């Protein structure tokens, strides 16, 4: 699903609250040349950033909003529309290799 940049933060947080363990949310710009993948692992989120920087790190549930806001500004600075995709456990394995 494609969302306006102003609405993507609320939509992503709503989707993250409904995830079950092992599922993920994938965010990409229109060109799909960069991505931010957020995977639920127990009570923490695994964030995989592939764009201007390539890195992976863990975030506590209470801090995900601030981290997500920062990542959206950094990875999608000129994007007006952002794709949001829900990924199952099998798709997450294909994305991460784990």
Token pair listed for 35: 């991505």
Sheet bearing 2-4, strands edge to edge: 2-4, 81-87, 24-29, 35-41, 44-50, 54-60
Q: What span, in angstroms and rounded, lies between the C-alpha atoms of 86 and 75?
A: 19
Cα distance between residue 38 and residue 28, in whole Å: 12
Q: Is the separation of the CB atoms in 1 and 15 below 8 Å? A: no
- Confidence band of 96 (pLDDT split at 50, 70, 90): low
Question: Which residue ranges make up each domain of the chain?
Answer: 2-76+91-96
Per-residue confidence (pLDDT) for residue 91, from 0 to 100: 80
Model pTM score = 0.90
pLDDT of 7-19, one tens digit each?
999 999 999 999 9
Question: How many CB atoms are located within 10 Å of the residue 94 CB?
Answer: 9
Q: How confident is the model at residue 94 (pLDDT cuts 50, 70, 90)?
A: confident
């Amino acid at each position: 699903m494609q969302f306006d940049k102003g609405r993507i933060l609320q939509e992503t947080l709503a989707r993250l609250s409904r995830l079950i363990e092992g599922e993920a949310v994938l965010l990409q710009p229109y060109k799909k040349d960069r991505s931010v993948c957020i995977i639920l692992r127990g009570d923490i989120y695994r964030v995989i950033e592939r764009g201007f920087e390539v890195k992976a790190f863990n975030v506590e549930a209470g801090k995900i909003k601030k981290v997500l806001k920062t990542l959206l500004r950094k990875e999608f600075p000129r994007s007006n529309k952002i794709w949001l995709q829900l990924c199952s456990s099998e798709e997450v394995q294909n994305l991460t290799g784990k």
